[in-house]
Amino acid sequence: MNDHRPEPELPPARGPVSAAVVAALRGTGPLPRVEECAAADPYGDDLQLALYLCYELHYRGFADVSPDHEWDPGLLRVRAALEGVFLSALRADTPGHDSLDDALGALLVEPVQGTGVTHYLCEEGERWQLREYAAQRSLYHLKEADPHAWVLPRLWGRAKAAMAAVEFDEFGGGRAERVHARLFADLMTDLGLDTAYGRYLDAAPAEMLATVNLMSLLGLHRALRGALVGHFASVEITSSPGSRRLAEAMRRTGAGRAAEFFYDEHVEADAVHEQVVRHEVIGGLLDEEPRLAADIAFGIDATEYLEDRLSWRLLGRWRDGTSSLRAPLERETTHIT
């Protein structure tokens, strides 16, 4: 993976709101009106792409788009309107638990055998489905842990120290070749995928964009720091068993050593991270700010809700023998491992 590659190109729009955001970033048209944003489907392609474009300005940006757009007041107003629609829908639609203990406990319960995406890929997934899965997940994994780093200045004491320790592991423990984003790029190479950052944005459906947007939404708002910690807990607690199944899927299909290693690494690392997040990050945060318990639970529940929506799309399409993507993948390139 070349960390110095040019910024990705702006993608095609998916509706009037995202079209206006793309035009404004290109300097060829006005931003969408707040009323247009408010009327958009909170989980639809148009709103999710528009919001993704706004957030990416805080990561690597886009080719031929000025970095000054990151803090453009008009664009921030549009982003706030989109966030309001998305967050309101999540608060209304997320089936909340009665307590944080209940929310954390639910993460420890494995889904019924064979009902989850990782179960499916482990037991019967084909190589083309693994490629689709990796292409979509690349929207996060090629910047793995970056959204969570925004919470560090909003924590202190035990929670800050523990969160920084987990992030240090995610960023390779000081070794560039072990940065998890790099390891995922190596996995993509094994699967014959393009490792360019943002390459599969246009192929990813709204359900995938929503899972990535949630991380950015929670990370960029200090008021949502508790929810970001809840999201992080959900990711870390559920990662180890899911990664074990995905590692087996990679072995069963002969994906390659790097593909296997990425998930094998997460089996071991995230089993440790789970304990650190539960006892030190969450425990430390609640010692300082016990009122954030409900926000942590919301972060967990919202994450699981959006992941369930993504699972329904992936499994529904795959069981019908059709692609889960909006656009087909390029033909697989030959790679010898």
Percent of the chain at pLDDT > 90 equals 87
For residue 322, pLDDT over 50 is answered with yes
Residues 6+ apart with CB under 8 A from 208: 136, 137, 139, 310
Residue 215 has a pLDDT of 98
For residue 51, pLDDT over 90 is answered with yes
What are the pLDDT digits (tens) for 131-141? 999 999 999 99
Q: List, by residue range, all CATH 1.20.910.10 domains of the chain.
A: 100-319
Q: Which CATH architecture best describes the domain 100-319? A: Up-down Bundle (1.20)
For residue 333, pLDDT over 80 is answered with no
Residue 331 has a pLDDT of 80
**Alpha-carbon dihedral sign for residues 329, 189, 196, 60:** positive
What are the pLDDT digits (tens) for 77-110? 999 999 999 999 999 999 888 899 999 988 887 6
Q: Residue 139 corresponds to which tokens in the numbers above? A: 């929207």
Q: What is the CA radius of gyration of the chain?
A: 19
Residue 336 has a pLDDT of 45
pTM: 0.94
Residue 276 has a pLDDT of 92
Residue 46 has a pLDDT of 98
What are the pLDDT digits (tens) for 192-247? 999 999 999 999 999 999 999 999 999 999 999 999 999 999 999 888 899 999 99
For residue 114, pLDDT over 80 is answered with no
What are the pLDDT digits (tens) for 251-308? 999 999 999 999 999 988 777 888 899 999 999 999 999 999 999 999 999 999 999 9
| pLDDT interval class at 332 (50, 70, 90) | confident
For residue 1, pLDDT over 90 is answered with no
Residue 115 has a pLDDT of 77
| pLDDT interval class at 178 (50, 70, 90) | very high
The stretch 300-318 carries a mean pLDDT of 97
Residue 113 has a pLDDT of 57
Residue 233 has a pLDDT of 94
Residue 334 has a pLDDT of 58
